[in-house]
Structure 1
Amino acid sequence: MNEWNDIAVISPARDIDISTVATLREQIDTLVEQGVRRVMVNCLNVGFIDSSGLACLLSRARRLHAKGGLLSLVNTSPGVTRSIQIARLIDALHVTAAVRPPVPLLKPGAMPLWSKSVSVREGVENLGYYRHRVVDMISALPMSASDRFDTALAAGEALSNAYDHADGAAGCTMMVIAYPDRVVIEVRDRGRGYQIAADEEPDETEERGRGIRLMRMLVDSVEVMRRRDARGTLVRLIKLLAPAEEA
């Protein structure tokens, strides 16, 4: 995908079925016509997706794919995930379950394949450069193109927080660490310091809160904590390269 700002999140208020599919189709089509190339359907309030809903999602996913984009379903319940599996559409629709298995601890003595540290330039105009830099750094890892995009977008959200809340990212650093089963990205800033528990819902009226919600949709683990080594915030993102049982 060439554009990094053309992303939209749609949150249906109820099930995706014959009674709601026309509205969803219109929403997606309008976004695509406006140039959006990444549509995320947040299924937090969706208990069921019937055949008409699956047909709509599949057709719009294909339309976006033809334009170099991607449609994703995030926060799907076990039942919704199962229905998509039964319909054999789990590969056609990029699905992220609401309840994910916990990220396994690194095995004792596990050593990184490589690690790279990047000093972040001041100025929010540099943000796009670092998203593409992350894609380049993880390009050789066993990840799909959509997973690389998600990882880079999440890293961009972490950096965006630094730009917003740490004097334009002055003194900010980004570390990318590759292990056999995961990639870890750590963004350290020198702002006032912020922390949120893994099970805590951020205030959606805050820009930082919306960024945390999006990061949680994109990667397998998000930690936001005050730094212990200096003043500021540490954001740690983990994207698994393989299912936990294979790690």
Structure 2
Amino acid sequence: MAVVEKETVGRALVVKLSGELDLVTSDSVKEAIDPVLEGSSRITDLVIDLTQVRFIDSSGLGMLLGRYKKVSDRGGKVIVFGLQPAVERVLAMAGITKIVEVAASRDAALAHY
């Protein structure tokens, strides 16, 4: 898993991920995201591009939930987009799609920033 790109758009941190989000990669994703979230009171939301993510396991789900908690504790929200069918099924079965916003595209995810 690689964090391919990070950028700030308005009050959102936008992160593009690639590969698999699993036990092996979840910590490196956290290490890429958390310092940015914790280092700026201006960033309240997290937008995650999952277009290139083809697999997610329980560790990946835990990473998403942990970032959701960090962001929601600050009054922000998490938006994901670009869900591949297999990833979308796992997120739906785990109930993640009920707590994070799922956008149809990057443009839709960033429309209000």
* TM-score interval, smaller chain: 0.7 to 0.9
- Superposed CA deviations along residues 96-120 of structure 1, whole A, max 9, x for unmatched, are 356xxxxxxxxxxxxxxxxxxxxxx
Within the candidate set 54, 70, 90, 2:77 is matched to 70
- Asked if 2 retains the 8 angstrom alpha-carbon contact of 1:44 and 1:77, the reply is yes
Root-mean-square deviation (Å): 1.9
Q: Percent of aligned positions with the same letter in both sequences?
A: 27
CA contact (8 A) 1:37 1:67 kept: yes
Cα gap change, 1:97 to 1:49, in 2 (>3 Å): farther
Could you say which residue in structure 2 is the equivalent of 1:156?
none
Which residue number in structure 1 is paired with residue 28 of structure 2? Answer: 23
Post-superposition CA distance 1:53-95 (Å, at most 9, x none): 0011111101110111112211111221111111122112222
Q: CA deviation at 1:31?
A: 1.6
More strand by share: 2
Of 42, 54, 58, which residue of structure 1 is paired with 2:49? Answer: 42
CA contact (8 A) 1:78 1:97 kept: no
SS at match of 1:47: strand
1:153 corresponds in structure 2 to: none
Deviation, structure 1 residue 216: 4.1
- Counterpart CA distance in 1 for 2:52 and 2:22 is 13
The DSSP-based 3-state class of the residue aligned with 1:19 is coil
> 2:32 & 2:107 partners in 1: Cα distance?
23
The match for 1:92 is 99
Partner of 1:215: 107
1:51 CA displacement: 0.3
TM-score using structure 2 length: 0.78
One of 33, 38, 60 as aligned partner of 1:33? 38
1:28 partner letter: I
Mapping 1:169-184, distance limit 5 Å: none
Measure how far apart 1:19 and its partner are.
1.4
Change beyond 3 A, Cα 1:48–1:97 = farther
SS state at 1:64 partner: helix
Aligned residues of 2:68 and 2:77 also touching (Cα < 8 A) = yes
Q: How many residues align?
A: 101
Q: TM (normalized to structure 1)?
A: 0.38
Task: Look up the equivalent residue of 1:60 and give its one-letter code.
Answer: R
Asked which structure has the greater RCO (Cα within 8 Å, sep 6+), the reply is 2
Larger radius of gyration: 1
Corresponding residue number in structure 2 for 1:11:
16
User: Which residue does 1:224 correspond to in 2?
Assistant: none
